[in-house]
Amino acid sequence: MTVRPEPEERSDNPVPRRSVKRVQTRRNGALSRALAGFVGLSLLLSTVAHAWGAPGHETVGAIAERLIAGRRAEAQVRKLLQPDETLQSISIWADCAKGYCGSLTEELREFVHKNPRHAHYHYTDVPFQAAAYEEGGIGTSDDDVVHILKQCIAVLKGATDHDANPHGLTAREALLLLVHLLGDVHQPLHVGTAYVSDKGEFVVPASAAAVDNVLIFNTAGDNDLIFESQSLHAFWDSRAVEDAMRHAGVRTPAEFAAFLMRAAPDLPIVTGDVTKWPAKWASETLGAAKLAHAGLSLEKREAAENRSGETRRVWRVSAPSGYAQTASALTATQLTRAGYRLAAVLEAVWH
Ligand SMILES: [Zn+2]
């Protein structure tokens, strides 16, 4: 059900890509001319940082770390981590599996080998206009962030059967994924994505089959929407977090965690059956995704080049004034929720 066949193209990178892909000069005729105007754009697209970048994920880990300190959950977590690891430090492990942190460790290589679709685990592509995350709905898949979170929780609770743990995750892998994906499921554009018609309008596809990338396009978590000089996805992953940290007057994820924990969190959805929480969080995040798309206008359609040198369509968007402030405030809320909920899951597993 996941529409985009190239998960590696999903912007989900905690590390700014400093090595700019050199635009090939051996192009011919019309394609060359067509691309000439997009070179600057393609360079920009290939240099941005992605995914609740490292600071966002690390903040989530740091909040949970403080909340479980001295609790049984902390002792159980410690058994699964190396002595020099913390929830904060392992929060980007799942992104490192995609090669964003340099060469893969032996453990990451093994994980990637066992999980060829691991890049899909970080998101789901529900139309942002949808009221709720629904099993089997447009943009969902069996390997999306909601399903993998459920599997991580089940594994940490001791499940070993194939239905509950289809990817054969170890308890350690389940914890490493859980910490990261708890952050991702709170990033508005990792849950609610824009679908755009060939007429350049936001649309809700009638069915998954209608998303043919001819008449209706999946913008892949808004990676194909360009806001200012980067993708809208990257804006929410990184710029919104940076702005929120600057407004808080903090420099590190640990400081940001302490800042966010000063206020009592607005925190529904941490009671009842823990395995049902991820779908409810995703539905709540759709509300945030609606805010993230409020007032956006699609402008002209352009072509950009992806890392494989293929062209893809992108749309420039303009946002209402105050959009960046709204984004940074919402980001602070979402990171706080993610951190508290991560702790709540760990407490629910090891109460
Ligand atoms: Zn991610």
* Predicted pLDDT of residue 51: 54
Task: Give 1-18 pLDDT, tens digit per residue.
Answer: 333 434 334 544 433 332
How far apart are the CA of 36 and the centre of ligand 1, in A?
32
Task: Tell me which residues have their CB within 5 A of the ion that is ligand 1.
Answer: 12, 51, 122, 184
How far apart are the CA of 35 and the centre of ligand 1, in A?
30
Q: Letter for the amino acid at 172?
A: R
Task: Give the residue carrying structure tokens 């679908």.
Answer: 195
How far apart are the CA of 72 and the centre of ligand 1, in A?
27
Q: Give the residue from 216, 122, 140 showing the smallest Cα distance to 224.
A: 216
Positive or negative torsion for Cα 331, 334, 338, 339 = positive
Sheet containing 225-227: give its strands across.
230-231, 225-227, 311-318, 297-305
DSSP, res 251: -
* Predicted pLDDT of residue 231: 93
How far apart are the CA of 180 and the centre of ligand 1, in A?
6
How far apart are the CA of 348 and the centre of ligand 1, in A?
23
Whole-model pTM? 0.86
How far apart are the CA of 259 and the centre of ligand 1, in A?
23
Q: How far apart are CA 342 and CA 64, in angstroms?
A: 6
How far apart are the CA of 344 and the centre of ligand 1, in A?
20
Q: How many CB atoms lie within 10 A of CB 213?
A: 12
Q: Kindly write down the DSSP assignment for every residue of 284-308, as one continuous string.
A: HHHHHHHHHHTT-EEEEEEEEE-TT
Task: Give 154-192 pLDDT, tens digit per residue.
Answer: 999 999 999 999 999 999 999 999 999 999 999 999 999
Q: Considering only the top CATH level, what class is 44-261+274-349?
A: mainly alpha
How far apart are the CA of 271 and the centre of ligand 1, in A?
25
Lowest mean pLDDT among 195-199, 309-313, 325-329: 309-313
How far apart are the CA of 117 and the centre of ligand 1, in A?
13
How far apart are the CA of 122 and the centre of ligand 1, in A?
5
How far apart are the CA of 152 and the centre of ligand 1, in A?
15
Task: Give 95-120 pLDDT, tens digit per residue.
Answer: 999 998 889 999 999 999 999 999 99
Residue 77, token pair as written in the block: 């977590």
* Predicted pLDDT of residue 312: 83
How far apart are the CA of 184 and the centre of ligand 1, in A?
5
* Predicted pLDDT of residue 129: 98
How far apart are the CA of 74 and the centre of ligand 1, in A?
23
How far apart are the CA of 82 and the centre of ligand 1, in A?
22
Q: Are 345 and 177 in contact (CB under 8 A)?
A: no
pLDDT at 73 over 90: yes
The helix or strand, by DSSP H or E, that contains position 67, with its residue range, turns out to be helix 54-68
pLDDT at 30 over 70: no
